[in-house]
Amino acid sequence: MLPNRPLSFQDWYSNYGADFMKLSTGTCNTTLANYVGSPFDPLLCNDHVNCILEATNEARKAHMSAAAIFLGMVPTLLSLIAPSLSQLALLSARRPLLALFLSSGSTVLFLDRLFRIESPREILTRTDGERFIPRLKRQWAILFSVGEYLLAAIAAINAIWNSWQLGNKAVVVWKCELNFMPLIWVLGPPFIVMVVAIPFQFTTIAKFLRAQACVYSPLTVPEHVDSKREPGAMWECMAREITPAIRHPTIKLEEIPHAETWAVFILNVGFCLAALQVLFGIGVLSSVLFVSVRDAIWVGLRYVVSTGVCRLLLALELECMKSDRRSGD
């Protein structure tokens, strides 16, 4: 139970908000009082929804239906531009915190054909051309990394806050009493990534990526630490985390190990979870009420921006890691 959670019907989107507020507190004040007295009762919540809808003209209902249809297509659109689970798993081998931020801002995960998972060698192989992004020097690597974290954090906050507002300013018709359904949906990707990324850390390719990253860190060993001693595991983990791929050299294709069978199985499980998360998002967003088409476009655009930023950041990291097919020549 969440006794202190914000109640529905207290805040509205701007386009129809004034009219719905007038209906809620005026014509439907009795059902509103009943709902406020017991906000977790679905019958009382639905009674108030029905009261508002009965007092709403048919043209506005048609507009709300169009908005719900538009929002219902948003998860599918996002799944075409979102980062893939395999790519985030690879990034988590070196930078798990950044991978978690990117998954939190991506809203969904990229969906390819069912059980068609990109192998690490496919992801890290450049099909043509050579690396066009030069390596950064030590003094710029940390600044570049901070910029990545800021953008990823802003994208994640935008996606989460957008979902929180959608839950409080609209109503999911099949779970009227629960105004945090959009928030549950948008928090699905970081959960799925953790399910996959934690066991992925024990794969040979994750160990290979971490071993290669140890040499190229923007951090230096503090002066008070004996230079003859090896840095601790925590220090190495921090160094890898804040070191962007643009600081590392390109990975050689022939050195990339193959993924274990159990790792591929874990990725397939994660892919199925990602597909279910998209379906859940379609069910949630296509069921919202009291949202205009204009407001729905704004909500969808905010999701697209967050997802696009996360995809670009991940693409930059992977581009600096990719191997030229001619590297072995």
Looking up tokens 């099949």 gives 174
pTM of the model: 0.87
Domain that holds residue 323: 71-328
44 & 76 share domain: no
Do 130 and 43 fall into the same domain?
no
Structure tokens at 151: 């953008």
**Cα–Cα distances in angstroms (integers) from residue 20 to residues 50, 79, 300, in the given order:** 12, 33, 22
| Domain annotation covers residue 5 | no
249 in a domain, yes or no? yes
Total domains, the chain: 2
Residues 23 and 161 in one domain: no
pLDDT for position 227: 46
Would you state the structure tokens that stand for residue 177, as one six-digit string?
A: 């009493």
- Asked if residues 107 and 82 have their Cβ atoms less than 8 Å apart, the reply is yes
Assess whether 263 and 291 both reside in one domain.
Answer: yes
In this structure, the answer to whether residues 214 and 273 fall within a common structural domain is yes
Contact criterion met (CB below 8 Å) for 188 and 104: no
Within a domain: 3: no
Same domain? For 39 and 81 the reply is no
Whether residue 61 is contained in a domain is answered as no
**Domain membership flag for residue 62:** no
Q: Amino acid letter at 257?
A: P
Shared domain for 260 and 319, answered yes or no, is yes
- Whether residue 1 is contained in a domain is answered as no
Residue 263 lies in a domain: yes
Query: What's the start-to-end Cα distance of the chain, in Å?
Result: 63
pLDDT (tens, 9 = 90+) of the chain, 329 residues, equals 444 668 889 999 988 889 999 999 999 999 999 999 999 999 999 999 999 999 999 999 999 999 999 999 999 999 999 999 999 999 999 899 999 999 999 999 998 776 677 777 777 775 454 555 656 666 677 888 899 999 999 999 999 999 999 999 999 999 898 889 999 999 999 999 999 999 999 999 888 888 876 655 555 444 444 444 555 677 778 878 888 877 776 777 777 788 888 988 999 999 999 999 999 999 999 999 999 999 999 999 999 999 999 999 998 888 877 665 544 43
* Beta pairing partners, 172: 288
Note the pLDDT of residue 124: 73
The two tokens of residue 132 are 């066009």
Residue 228 falls inside a structural domain: yes
**Which tokens is 277 given?**
């998360």
Task: Confirm if 327 and 253 have CB atoms less than 8 A apart.
Answer: yes
Looking at the fold, whether 130 and 220 belong to one and the same domain comes out as: yes
Q: Where are the beta strands (DSSP E) in the chain?
A: 125-126, 171-172, 288-289, 323-324
Are residues 129 and 254 part of one domain?
Answer: yes
Quick one: which of 315, 182, 204 has its CA closest to 255? 204
Query: Residues 17, 77: one domain?
Result: no
Task: State whether the Cα torsion 306-310-313-315 is positive or negative.
Answer: negative
Q: Do 196 and 268 form a contact (C-beta atoms < 8 A)?
A: no
**Residues 133 and 251 grouped into a single domain:** yes
Q: Is 215 found in the same domain as 143? A: yes
d(C-alpha 243, C-alpha 248), whole Å: 8
